[in-house]
Amino acid sequence: MLKGKSAIITGGVRGIGRAIAEAFCRNGADVLLCYRSNDAAAEKTQDELAQYGTKVEILKGDVADPEFATEAIAKAKENFGKIDILVNNAGITKDKLLIQMKGDDFDSVVDTNLKGSFYFLKAASSVMIKQRAGSIINLSSVVGVKGNPGQVNYAASKAGVIGMTMAAAKELGRRNVRVNAIAPGFIETDMTDELNDSQKAKMNEVISLGRMGSPEDVANLALFLASDMSAYITAQTICIDGGMSI
């Protein structure tokens, strides 16, 4: 599905980002995986994905730094010659009740989740516009659609991603650059592994399918949006939540 294509994936060495990276490599794409701090996970992921025979590059940095986006674009162009796909996946949480949340708690989440996505969106767009082709996939969340107690900062950042996705899609569509968002619900990750069985059961009660999703579920959707199979889809936010948001 992605043979001959190249992708940049932020937050690409663990969780959902790691699953997306594997799906892309398995389907023929070269990938640049951006990560912030976990060198061991980055090197392990790079080694494991080598089995698919595509190029796998890694780059360490903070997406909240606008210079990192510039560096990533340059590295991808140097190694792959072009950039077909961008996945803005990197994100953080700093959950607190509204009355306990400090300005720094709000700003740091917005800086990473929203502004970080903006920096990479802008940098990748400059390349894709010249190519007159590209697919940009921004990771939002159902929290950005519905809100959630204790996550005012996270909800604001992910709602911002949705608005940014729609606006960018309207700007870039004439240049054959598509921009879509994925809004996951409860997905099995390192964070959910810390929940006990009772907590997981309560979460599953609000999901129509009765289970949490897997990173691979999200990766399959990202693969579709990155491929030519979705060539007429842009400006969309697709919830992948097992029916939680009904």
155 is in an annotated binding site: yes
Strands laid side by side in the 177-184 sheet: 56-60, 30-35, 6-10, 85-88, 134-139, 177-184, 237-240
For residue 14, say whether it is annotated as part of any ligand binding site: yes
Residue 11 annotated as part of some ligand binding site: yes
Tell me if 168 is assigned to a ligand binding site. no
Element (H, E) at 70: helix 66-80
Is 52 annotated as contributing to ligand binding?
no
Residue 130 annotated in ligand binding: no
Q: Are strands 6-10 and 85-88 parallel, antiparallel or unpaired?
A: parallel
Alpha carbon distance 226, 214 (integer Å): 19
> Long-range pairs for 43-46 at CB < 8 Å and ≥24 separation?
44/13, 45/12, 45/13, 45/14, 45/18, 45/21
183 among annotated binding-site residues: no
- Count other C-beta atoms under 10 Å from residue 215's C-beta: 20
CA–CA gap between residue 123 and residue 121 (Å, rounded):
6
Spatial separation of the C-alpha atoms in residues 119 and 115, rounded to whole Å: 6
Catalytic residue list: 154
Cα–Cα distance measured from residue 66 to residue 44, given in angstroms and rounded to the nearest whole number: 27
Return binding residues for NADP(+).
11-14, 89, 154-158, 187
Which positions make up the binding site?
Answer: 11-14, 89, 154-158, 187
